[in-house]
């Protein structure tokens, strides 16, 4: 079943436009949902911290499981087999980390009125320099992430044949303008409301795909046999099962990705918008349901091989499989689900980046005396500029550039782990040591990735034995920790007893206070 050249299908396009228009209207109406004063940053950028367990579940699901996830994970399985399933374990054991850390972060930020992780770092350590490093890293890691959501949109437009008729610029510009306007107007409420529709459509799409497509291909046994035959023809480290030399790289990539996921600004933003720390704990228990869905999505890569889908780029494998397997009206529905999977996280990512720029770069370094209304207005403008930068990256730079930067983004965002996560539990590490550790980790991670051809795994030989693949982000994080731990006693000695300690004490009660105790 070879993938035909995409041609414009008016039925698929009509269904797509219907759902796209519906969620656009929802995005603008979201400003009236759970009304708040959107001239305040915590209302525009955190939804007033009033989202309960149900809304937060959909918001975090829409935030973490993106359009590019729907495209890239099956594409990786299509290309390299079982190795592409690394996304499943990391989205499973990330949630125990969330359960232990994020409620504590929520309590502290709620008590002090903080809206970003860099706010917490500055308050915790009394260091604007360390807070700036965290903010800079967050924005740097987020920009290519937003660009990849637009890449997902671009793939959908190409699959429907729209790009061949209107060019890739016009559809993306229209989608960008719509996204930018309702994000500016409604803030975090827009993606929170749209996430309900996006997730429902996503579940329908995936369940239909994993039931109907294997039936057409002769069952899952036939799917796995055909996929294995395709991998055998390729040779190399591909197959429907992991090979022994892939174990270390698979495990470390999953572990490092789990440590990084909730350090991204969009994850922090969605988490801090919850109404209570108990809401976060409940979601840490129930969000693994999305990991099950992700496993089903990954299977689409095997189905594309079994269906003999031939594409020039792996990112087109799933759209081509949808076109080949479903009638046009349902293909349009599926493409709308994927497009919404781009709009929801792109909106949250731009808001998270805008919060960082406004609170931790603009206010301390440009104008410390801005009013609350001006602060919110600057954040709205920055959210537009962030999306413009991502759009420019997609339109005028090779797609591979955005992919490479996003791989680097995971390595970079890991380097704020010691300052943010360790800072929740200990005051021992000194801010100057943490800043130098961050710098060492950023340089080491970027250098190793560049020397390795921007591949995320670096071969390391332990004790002269067989080289093992280790995720570069974890190597850089180990260097980061080493520098911070070694230099902390030195920084403590140099600080001297006469210099006041500006680090913020976080009592045990901060970990257990809920919204009621805080007067919410």
Residue 466 lies in a domain: no
Residue 428 lies in a domain: no
- C-alpha–C-alpha distance, residues 79 and 73, integer Å: 10
Q: Which two tokens stand for residue 147?
A: 């660009």
Q: Which DSSP category does 468 fall into?
A: E
pLDDT in tens, 371-410: 888 888 999 999 988 888 888 877 777 666 667 777 888 9
Report residue 459: phi and psi, to 5°: -80, 125
Residue 357 lies in a domain: yes
Residue 500 lies in a domain: no
Domain count, the chain: 1
Average pLDDT score over residue span 405-419:
90
Q: Comparing 414 with 388, which gets the higher pLDDT?
A: 414
Residue 76 lies in a domain: yes
Long-range contacts, 178-182 (Cβ 8 Å, 24+): 178/20, 178/24, 178/27, 179/343, 179/346, 179/347, 179/387, 180/383, 180/384, 180/387, 181/28, 182/24, 182/27, 182/28, 182/30, 182/347
Count CB neighbours of 160 within 10 A.
27
Residue 486 lies in a domain: no
Average pLDDT score over residue span 41-46:
86
Domain housing 79: 10-398
- Would you place residue 167 in the very low, low, confident or very high pLDDT band (cuts 50, 70, 90)? low
Whichever domain contains 39, its CATH number is 1.20.1730.10
pLDDT in tens, 461-479: 776 677 888 999 999 999 9
Residue 458 lies in a domain: no
Q: DSSP string covering 338-370, please?
A: HHHHHHHHHHHHHHHHHHHHIIIIIHHHT-TT-
- Would you place residue 2 in the very low, low, confident or very high pLDDT band (cuts 50, 70, 90)? very low
Using alpha carbons, select from 298, 290, 326 the residue that is nearest to residue 208: 326
Average pLDDT score over residue span 165-179:
76
- C-alpha–C-alpha distance, residues 33 and 189, integer Å: 7
Residue 125 lies in a domain: yes
Average pLDDT score over residue span 328-345:
88
- Please determine, for residue 274, whether its predicted confidence score (pLDDT) is greater than 70: yes
């Amino acid at each position: 079943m070879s993938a035909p050249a995409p041609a414009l299908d008016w039925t698929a396009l009509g269904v797509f436009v219907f759902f796209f228009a519906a969620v656009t209207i929802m995005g603008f109406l979201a400003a009236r949902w759970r009304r708040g004063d959107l001239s305040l940053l915590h209302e525009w950028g955190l939804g007033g911290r009033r989202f309960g367990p149900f809304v937060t579940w959909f918001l975090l699901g829409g935030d973490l499981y993106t359009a590019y996830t729907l495209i890239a994970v099956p594409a990786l399985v299509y290309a390299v087999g079982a190795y592409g399933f690394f996304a499943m374990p990391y989205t499973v054991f990330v949630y125990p980390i969330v359960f232990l850390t994020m409620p504590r972060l929520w309590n502290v930020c709620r008590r002090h009125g903080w809206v970003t992780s860099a706010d917490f770092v500055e308050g915790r350590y009394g260091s604007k320099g360390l807070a700036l490093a965290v903010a800079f890293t967050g924005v740097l890691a987020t920009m290519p992430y937003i660009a990849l959501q637009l890449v997902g949109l671009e793939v959908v437009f190409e699959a429907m044949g729209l790009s061949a008729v209107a060019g890739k610029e016009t559809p993306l510009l229209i989608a960008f303008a719509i996204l930018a306007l309702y994000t500016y107007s409604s803030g975090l409420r827009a993606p929170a409301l749209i996430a309900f529709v996006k997730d429902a459509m996503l579940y329908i799409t995936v369940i239909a795909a994993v039931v109907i497509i294997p039936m057409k291909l002769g069952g899952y046994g036939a799917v796995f046999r055909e996929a294995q035959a395709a991998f055998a023809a390729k040779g190399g480290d591909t197959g429907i099962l992991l090979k022994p030399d892939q174990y270390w790289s698979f495990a470390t990539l999953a572990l490092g990705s789990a440590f990084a996921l909730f350090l991204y600004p969009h994850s922090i933003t969605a988490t801090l918008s919850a109404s209570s720390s108990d809401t976060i704990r409940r979601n840490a228990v129930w969000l693994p349901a999305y990991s099950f869905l992700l496993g089903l999505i990954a299977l689409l890569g095997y189905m594309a091989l079994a269906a003999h889908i031939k594409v020039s780029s792996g990112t087109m494998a799933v759209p081509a499989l949808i076109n080949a397997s479903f009638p046009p009206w349902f293909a349009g529905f599926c493409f709308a689900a994927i497009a919404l999977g781009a709009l929801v996280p792109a909106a949250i990512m731009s808001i998270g980046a805008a919060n960082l720029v406004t609170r931790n770069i603009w206010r301390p370094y440009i104008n410390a005396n801005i009013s609350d209304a001006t602060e919110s207005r600057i954040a709205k403008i920055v959210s537009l500029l962030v999306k413009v930068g991502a759009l420019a990256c997609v339109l005028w730079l090779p797609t591979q550039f955005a992919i490479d930067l996003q791989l680097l983004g995971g390595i970079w965002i890991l380097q704020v782990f010691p300052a943010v996560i360790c800072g929740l539990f200990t005051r021992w590490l000194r801010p100057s040591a943490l800043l130098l550790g961050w710098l060492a980790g950023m340089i080491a991670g970027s250098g190793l990735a560049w020397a390795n051809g921007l591949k995320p795994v670096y071969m390391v030989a332990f004790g002269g034995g067989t080289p093992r693949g280790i995720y570069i982000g974890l190597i850089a994080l180990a260097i980061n920790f080493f520098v911070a731990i070694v230099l902390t006693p030195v920084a403590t000695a140099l600080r001297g007893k006469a210099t006041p300690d500006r680090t913020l004490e976080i009592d045990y009660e901060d970990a257990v206070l809920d919204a009621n105790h805080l007067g919410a």
